[in-house]
Amino acid sequence: MKQVKETMAKVRSDKTVDARTEAAKNLAGLTQKISSQEVTEALVTDITSLLDSRDDSVRYWVATTLGNLGPAAKAAVPKLEEMLPKADCINGAITSASGIRYALTKMGVKPPPPLKCGRIAG
């Protein structure tokens, strides 16, 4: 868990988008190994707060991280559902929308179909 907390700090404060994205990707990898017994409400809250990043690439990996926690991270569902319509309209091959859909599915929530909208810059 120490490594998870250190990695979350890097997601918040690394200097470049690439460094924050890499930290978020590492966080997703670390959470694949966490048992549901280790997932606390505080951990889910801390990870969910990382979704407020201005970088869509970071949001993608943070959503994936929450998905890796599965149903134990269901407290993040309202935030993920709130973010999805805007994420659907971000222009890019891979956007946070796919990470959000992955997370919702892993939490047992059926995501809505993608919105039809004009794409915006991520």
Q: What is the pLDDT of residues 30-46, one digit of tens each?
A: 999 888 889 999 999 99
Specify if 86 maps to a domain: yes
Whole-number mean pLDDT of the chain?
Answer: 93
pLDDT at 96: 97
What's the whole-number mean pLDDT along residues 13-22?
A: 97
DSSP letters spanning the chain: -HHHHHHHHHHHH-SSHHHHHHHHHHHHHHHTT--GGG--HHHHHHHHHGGG-S-HHHHHHHHHHHHHHGGGGGGGHHHHHHHHHHHHTB-SSS-HHHHHHHHHHHTT-PPPPPP----B--
Q: What is the pLDDT of residue 117?
A: 76
The pLDDT confidence band at residue 5, using thresholds 50, 70 and 90, is very high
Number of structural domains, the chain?
Answer: 1
pLDDT in tens, 51-80: 999 999 999 999 999 999 999 999 999 999
**What does pTM read for this prediction?**
0.93
Full residue range of the structural domain in which residue 25 is found: 2-106
| 113, part of any domain | no
**CATH number for the domain harbouring residue 74:** 1.25.10
Structural domain includes residue 95: yes
